Structure formats: structure tokens, C-alpha cells
Amino acid sequence: MSSSTPRLEVDGLTVTFSGLTALDDVGFTVGDGETVALIGPNGAGKTTVFNAVCSLVRPASGSIRIGGRRAPATPTGLLERGVARTLQGLGLFESLSVLENVLVPLSGRRDGSGRDAALETLQRLDLAADAATPVAALSYPARKRVALARALATRPQLLLLDEPAGGLGPDDIAELADVVRTLSAQGCSVLLVEHHVDFVMDVADRIVVLDFGRVVACGTPDEVRADPAVEAAYLGLEAAA
């Protein structure tokens, strides 16, 4: 991959579900170390973009390239391509400990490096003291950090975050913003879907605005904020939500 090749390149992406066009000719890129946010009203197509990037839905047309190569045909190929994702619903194993959860995507490593990576990530996300605690015993913000730790422990080059600030209070959101900024400084590319507009404006280098499956605006936070149509249709609406 040359230094100018985007980490993620989505081009002409169209996805249909039984006649409904969920995504219509969507295109954007995420560069190395760049944080890009997908915003838009409910049903705009944000999660469908994630699912297409993760090979969970098959596009009707268009292409998705990760590090200059076609995205893998199935989600199982994502880990080795340096892609990790968090889920809106967290998807944790509630009866397993924090450490066991974080070890799940690292279980293929036979050399002990998985455990080291997991412990280091728990330290980084202030979860080390809870390593042996069952996830079910944790608060919601802590469970969200476990889900983030599980993704981060794989050392992704492209991290997809699905509503990472959802359900968090101001202090946890500020810590999350720090984590995202640090990842970005380390060269990790981040694509996030988020309704929390202040968080998006704080961490995103660029914002892609979707509506009815189409990209209606794309630019820096200042550019998007200054777009009267975007402000009226999305930011005001979401900020008030």
C-alpha cells in the first residue's frame, strides 16, 4: 500500500434489501490515522455502511477496499486485514470475565502474545483491576470499555465504532475522546457512527452525512457545521434528541 492509499475506500456503494435502497452510490475514504464520522437520521444507512465494510451484507454494486485491497468476502477475513469493530449492542459474553472477553479475538495466537496484548489494553482502558470480574457485574460504561478493549487488543489499523458514546455520561465521553485521539496519533484509522454531535465534532477529522442512503454532505466539522442544509436537517435534529 502506498502512503497515499486510503486505509478504507468506499466507492459507489449501493445496497438494497428486498427492493428498498438502503445505500445509494455512497463513496468516501478514511486515511491512515484519520477519524471519520458517519452521521444522519435514523434509517439513513449508517449501520448498513458498517455491515458492508464488515462483509455482513453483499452490495448490489460498488467497491470496498481496505489498505488498497478488496475487502474480504466474509467477516472472518477482517482480523488478519487489521479491522476491528464494536457493536451497538456490545455483544459481550456476560458470564465470562473481562479478560476472557478481551481474549476472544486473540484466541488464535498460540505464543502468549494475546494475553500480553489483552492485559496491556485493559491497563490502557483502566480495566486492569476488573480483569477477573464477570462482565455482568460491571456498570454499562465499564462494559462499553470492555467492548472497546476487545477491539483494541487486536491492534487494528482500521477501527469501526458503532455509537461508542451512546449511553455514556460527559466524563466517560471525554475519556473516550482521549482514546480516539491517541489511536489517531498512533496511525489507527477510525470510522465511527454516532448520534452524539458534540463528541463527533470533537474527535472527527471529517464527517460524512447520510440521508436516505445518500451522502448529502462531507467535510471537516467546521464545513459540515456551516452547511445550512445539514444544520437544519441533521445537527439541530440530533442535538435536540
Ligand X SMILES: Nc1ncnc2c1ncn2[C@@H]1O[C@H](COP(=O)(O)OP(=O)(O)OP(=O)(O)O)[C@@H](O)[C@H]1O
Chain positions contacting ligand X, by CB under 6 A: 17, 20, 22, 40, 42-48
Q: How far is the CB of 215 from ligand X (least distance, A)?
A: 12
Could you tell me the end-to-end alpha-carbon distance of the chain, in angstroms, rounded to an integer? 41
Nearer to ligand X, 105 or 213 (CB): 213
Whether residue 152 contacts residue 176, with contact meaning beta carbons closer than 8 Å, is answered with no
Instruction: Give the containing element (helix H, strand E) for 81.
Output: none
Spatial distance between the Cα atoms of 228 and 235, rounded to a whole number of angstroms: 10
Nearer to ligand X, 42 or 107 (CB): 42
Q: How far is the CB of 238 from ligand X (least distance, A)?
A: 10
- Phi/psi at 127 (5° precision): -115, 0
Q: How far is the CB of 191 from ligand X (least distance, A)?
A: 13
Residue type, 69: R
Nearer to ligand X, 103 or 197 (CB): 197
- Cell, residue 224: 459540515
Q: How far is the CB of 171 from ligand X (least distance, A)?
A: 25
Nearer to ligand X, 22 or 165 (CB): 22
Q: How far is the CB of 72 from ligand X (least distance, A)?
A: 20
Spatial distance between the Cα atoms of 147 and 87, rounded to a whole number of angstroms: 8
Nearer to ligand X, 45 or 114 (CB): 45
DSSP one-letter string for 96-153: SBHHHHHHGGGTT--SSHHHHHHHHHHHHTT-GGGTTSBGGGS-HHHHHHHHHHHHHT
Nearer to ligand X, 44 or 201 (CB): 44
Lookup result for grid cell 459507489: 12
Q: How far is the CB of 27 from ligand X (least distance, A)?
A: 16
